[in-house]
Structure formats: structure tokens, C-alpha cells
Amino acid sequence: MSRPTKQSPERGNARIRLLESARDIVRAKGFAATTVDDLCRSADVTKGAFFHHFESKDALGVAAAEFWTEKTSAFFAAAPYHDLADPLERVLGYVAFRKAIIEGDLAAFTCLVGTMAQEVYASSQGIREACGRSIFGHAETLEADIEAARRERGITGDWTAQSLARHTQAILQGGFVLAKAGNDPALAREALDHLARYIRQLFHVTEETIA
């Protein structure tokens, strides 16, 4: 990839600007309704540049999902709840953190890969798989803390850390759908309140006994 020039300081960023535009526009309009021209206009690049970087619109979709995975991984890896000493507190800290970042414009906090998976699961295998890797990969990052909390506290229910980790993602995705349908971010936050209550019950703790 080439560096910026005196004349065009943006040169070399076209691919990333396209991915950023996709992240924003697809979350607002959906993948199918987002046109290549939309993306080019938003990213301020030409169609030639688009198809230089991406073989097809579908390939852009896959790349956007992977770009999303990268960015969100880094974002959550740097989040403060990891600093908590108690694994259960980290799990509940994750849920609280997810709730805290739900505010403002729907397209700004909802999930790109959830939106895309819902839309193209049957028509584009590549995109669906990339979305699946993103969601389930993220879920996996929660498993260790859940399992540690479980062992540490001697919890023996008929559920697994993997299953609960996935469930957190189901509730997030479902909360986003309801927030969109009701045009109200509070609906997504409400879902996370129930999730936190569920987790506390699974671990026999209350809001008073644990943050």
C-alpha cells in the first residue's frame, strides 16, 4: 500500500475508507440496499478504486465483516472490565460495558455482522461465514471468565460456559432488533438488564453482593 502524497494526502487509504463507509452505511441501510456508488461517494473514492480493492460487492461484505472483527476485538480487549480481579465481576462488567455503550443513533451502536448475517445468510455464504466467525469468535472471548467464575464458585447447573457466552450475544442481537423495531435504544439496554439478572441468579449473587 502506498503512502500519502503532497498532492493527495489521502492516497493509500481508499480501502480502509471504503470499509469504514461500509461499516456505517450498511448498519443504517442494510447490505443489499447499500450500493457500490453509495460507498464510493461516502469514502470519496471512484468506482475504479472500489473494484481495484474488492473483487465484487460480496467481497467487500466479507472484508467489512473481517474489518469489524478486528476493530471490535481491539475495542473490547482494551475495555476496563478486564482489570477486575474476580472473573464473575469481569463477566458482569462486560455486560455493564455493553449496556453503557448503547446510546444515541441506532446505526452507531448496533452490530454490523448481526445485521448482515440476518440479511444475507442464505444468499452469500462467504459473508455469512465471516459474520459467524465474528459473533462466535467474540463469544469465545467470554468463555474463560465464565468458566473461571463457575469453577471458583462451584456452580453446577446444566449449562456450559460456551452456551452462556453465546447467549450473551443472542441477547445483544435480540436487543438490537427490538431497539430498531421500536426505534428506542432503551429496549436494547433493557435486554441487558435481564441478562445481568440472569447471570447473577446463575451464580447465586445479588446486586448488593457483587458489582
Partner DNA sequence: TCAGAAACATACCATACGGTCGGTATGAGT
Partner DNA sequence: ACTCATACCGACCGTATGGTATGTTTCTGA
* String of DSSP letters for 69-96: HHHHHHHHHTSGGGG-SSHHHHHHHHHH
Query: Which of its own copies, DNA, none lies near 182, with the C-beta cut-off 5 to 8 A by kind?
Result: its own copies
Of the candidate spans 38-46, 81-89, 148-156, 187-195, the one that interacts with its own copies by CB under 8 A turns out to be 187-195
| Contacts of the segment 101-109: beta carbons below 8 A, 24+ positions apart | 102/175, 102/179, 102/185, 102/188, 102/189, 102/192, 103/185, 104/185, 106/179, 106/180, 106/183, 106/185, 107/24, 107/27, 107/28, 108/27, 109/185, 109/188
The DSSP H or E segment spanning 205 is: none
Q: Read off the amino acid at residue 148.
A: A
Number of residues that bind its own copies (CB under 8 A): 52
Least Cβ distance, residue 135 to DNA (angstroms): 24
Least Cβ distance, residue 119 to DNA (angstroms): 13
Of the candidate spans 2-10, 29-37, 38-46, 144-152, the one that interacts with its own copies by CB under 8 A turns out to be 29-37
Query: Which of DNA, its own copies, none lies near 53, with the C-beta cut-off 5 to 8 A by kind?
Result: DNA
Q: How far apart are CA 103 and CA 1, in angstroms?
A: 36
154 exposed, middle or buried (CB, 10 Å; 0-12, 13-18, 19+)?
exposed
Least Cβ distance, residue 54 to DNA (angstroms): 8
Among 19, 24, 28, 56, binds DNA (CB under 7 A): 56
Place of cell 433493557: 190
Least Cβ distance, residue 133 to its own copies (angstroms): 9
Query: Which of DNA, its own copies, none lies near 126, with the C-beta cut-off 5 to 8 A by kind?
Result: none
Sign of the CA dihedral with 190 first, then 68, 41, and 115 last = negative
13 binds DNA (CB under 7 A): yes
8 binds DNA (CB under 7 A): yes
Least Cβ distance, residue 28 to its own copies (angstroms): 5
Question: Under the rule (CB under 8 A), what is the footprint of its own copies?
Answer: 28-33, 106-107, 113-115, 117-123, 128, 131-132, 135-136, 157, 159, 163-164, 166-167, 169-178, 180-183, 187, 190-191, 193-194, 197-198, 201-202
